[in-house]
A and B are shown apart, each in its own frame.
Chain A
């Protein structure tokens, strides 16, 4: 995958989550186009409750496709501020718009330097097979 397909403003985890850090210290998290493509048709997304406190690398949910169920890992520590409730009825948004309507959780990030330490688009592109 060429890195021009990856939004340059996002940070990326090797477990294929993306993170968009806002100036107010909150971050939106979802999975990459590569991840949704590998999963195929997404049929269910299980997300945490608002207020859940997550440690770096902790499982924050599960994404199910016709063929498998996979854990979702939070790339930075923080507290869940919001979850994308649209996904309950329309999990296919993750396939259709993984970087926009397919977002999963919004987090109050504990330590923003953790977010900046994640991969940029070029490094993530290089990590893909």
Chain B
């Protein structure tokens, strides 16, 4: 058992009553007081989530764009400085190594934000694929703490703390500024389906910044939210989580993320041939989302049964939607069975899985 890593906010979390758990090798708050209440507070007002465990990789050099165009299925050339783009990162078979955000800081300067559990694997992959490209890769994961301020009141809470004009910052754009005196990369992004900001900043400033944001947000109904609420928020929004809806075996096409795969960008990106074939022939299995009308959670790994009672897939993610007050989830299903009535068994009771096109609730994120 290796020692858990912690973010610079570990003591801040403990002081605020967090329940700390092992999350991908990190000691992280799963909740402070109640996952359900933290979730609802984010939808109603705002929540502050420590996501400092996420990894950051700086990619610079004259071939940085060419390298990313080869590495990623999305079209990085469409990204202007100040823009953010979501992309899967695929292997040669079209499976998903990770999914990530690309920040373009200048013509030849990019920053990737990657999943905490995949940092070592991604770095090895990024380095392996960089052969022949005039780029430098630098693991900057220890240089950044990351706080996500999410919810409809996020703008009101953050604006008094910064001179950067946030109303002019469009969704999936970022600026460099200061928040309460702390230099930050201010990104109008998030993983909740709400409007919000993600603040990349120096780790030693994190405790003071978190406390300042908490003091500023509390009068607006903001709460500290843990990774439990973050997971139910992202599932309600229909966003994938790598290791669940995306994996080495689940391509972005199978996951319903065809919009991130730009076959027409004129670059032979890694996985292109396999993904082209998958698009032509259809994915053998597909990710679907479901609601049940029942409060029993259909959990990860539960077999999904088709019309004849045969197993046609399995559940990838499952939780109780605190907004709909019923179990929701995702499953990987044999494509031939996606139109059959689907059920899952919980303790001997068959639960019908009703297919839903996500998001499960109308999202209010800014245009």
Contact = CB atoms under 8 A, between A and B. Distances in A.
B295 A66 contact: no
B296 A64 contact: yes
Interface in B1-54: 19, 30-31, 34-37
B228 interface: yes
A66 B347 contact: no
Contacts of A84: none
Contacts of A20: none
Interface centre among A43, A66, A69 (most CB of B within 10 A): A66
A67 B296 contact: no
B296 A40 contact: no
A10 interface: no
Contacts of B31: 40-41
B297 A44 contact: yes
Given A40-B34, A41-B35, A43-B320, A66 B228 contact: yes
Given A43-B320, A46-B347, A66 B35 contact: yes
Contacts of B320: 43-44, 66
Interface in B306-328: 319-320
Interface residues of A, number: 13
Interface string A60-72: 0010101101000
A62 B347 contact: yes
Given A66-B228, A67-B228, A43 B34 contact: no
A43 B19 CA distance: 18
Nearest to B299: A69
B30 A67 contact: yes
Contacts of B295: 43-44, 64, 91
Given A46-B347, A66-B319, A40 B297 contact: no
A66 B31 CA distance: 11
B96 interface: no
Contacts of A66: 35-36, 228, 232, 297, 319-320
Q: Interface SS of chain B: helix, strand, loop or mixed?
A: mixed
B35 A40 contact: yes
A115 B300 CA distance: 38
A82 to B, nearest CB: 21
B5 to A, nearest CB: 21
Contacts of A91: 295
Interface in B97-156: none
Interface string B49-89: 00000000000000000000000000000000000000000
Nearest to A46: B347
B349 to A, nearest CB: 9
Contacts of B36: 41, 43, 66, 92
A2 B64 CA distance: 60
A44 B228 CA distance: 17
B296 A44 contact: yes
Contacts of A92: 36
Nearest to B19: A40
Interface in B185-231: 228
Contacts of A95: 34
B347 A43 contact: no
Given A46-B347, A62-B347, A66-B319, A41 B34 contact: yes
A125 B105 CA distance: 57
Interface of A: 40-41, 43-44, 46, 62, 64, 66-67, 69, 91-92, 95
Closest 7 CB pairs of A and B: A43-B320, A44-B295, A41-B36, A66-B35, A44-B296, A41-B35, A41-B34
Given A41-B36, A64-B295, 9 more contacts: A40-B31, A41-B31, A46-B296, A62-B347, A66-B228, A66-B320, A67-B228, A69-B297, A69-B299
25 contacts: A40-B19, A40-B35, A41-B31, A41-B35, A41-B36, A41-B37, A43-B36, A43-B297, A44-B296, A44-B297, A46-B347, A62-B347, A64-B295, A64-B296, A66-B35, A66-B228, A66-B232, A66-B319, A66-B320, A67-B30, A69-B297, A69-B299, A91-B295, A92-B36, A95-B34
